[in-house]
Amino acid sequence: QVQLQESGPGLVRPSETLSLTCSVSGGFLTSAGYYWGWIRQPPGKGLEWIGHIYYSESTDYNPSLGGRVTISVDTSKNQFSLKLTSVTATDTAVYFCAGCSSWTPPYYFDHWGQGALVTVSS
């Protein structure tokens, strides 16, 4: 059973970089899933797809985030990470990491972390 767990600072100052890591257990990141991604949810609001990584190096990001996003994989640690630069208060949200175990379309997120609240404030 693949399990995901987010970790990282819960408070980030405006203009700084938000960094989160997702640790994958119960399977190897390179074989347990095809897509590994990040989704966020501002308090009381809906879900927003941030981006994903596949083939351990190919990435797609949400253009609405203005090129501030980087997702990367560390296969030696069985982890993948999110970096979001130049954060503002509007980046305050619960950040979920998620995985897709399907290797062919349709793609979906069937494994989810519990979520990590990140607050942007000085």
Site residues, another protein (CB under 8 A): 39, 46-49, 52, 60-64, 96, 98, 102, 105-110, 112-115
Beta carbon of residue 76, minimum distance to another protein (angstroms, whole number): 26
CB of 16 or CB of 54, closer to another protein: 54
Among the listed residues 94, 112, 110, the one whose alpha carbon sits nearest the alpha carbon of residue 102: 110
CB of 87 or CB of 99, closer to another protein: 99
3-state SS class at 97 = strand
CB of 39 or CB of 76, closer to another protein: 39
Q: Are 78 and 23 in contact (CB under 8 A)?
A: yes
Instruction: Enumerate the β-bridge partners of residue 76.
Output: none
Beta carbon of residue 78, minimum distance to another protein (angstroms, whole number): 19
Q: Are 33 and 101 in contact (CB under 8 A)?
A: yes
Beta carbon of residue 70, minimum distance to another protein (angstroms, whole number): 16
CB of 2 or CB of 16, closer to another protein: 2
CA distance 56 to 31: 10
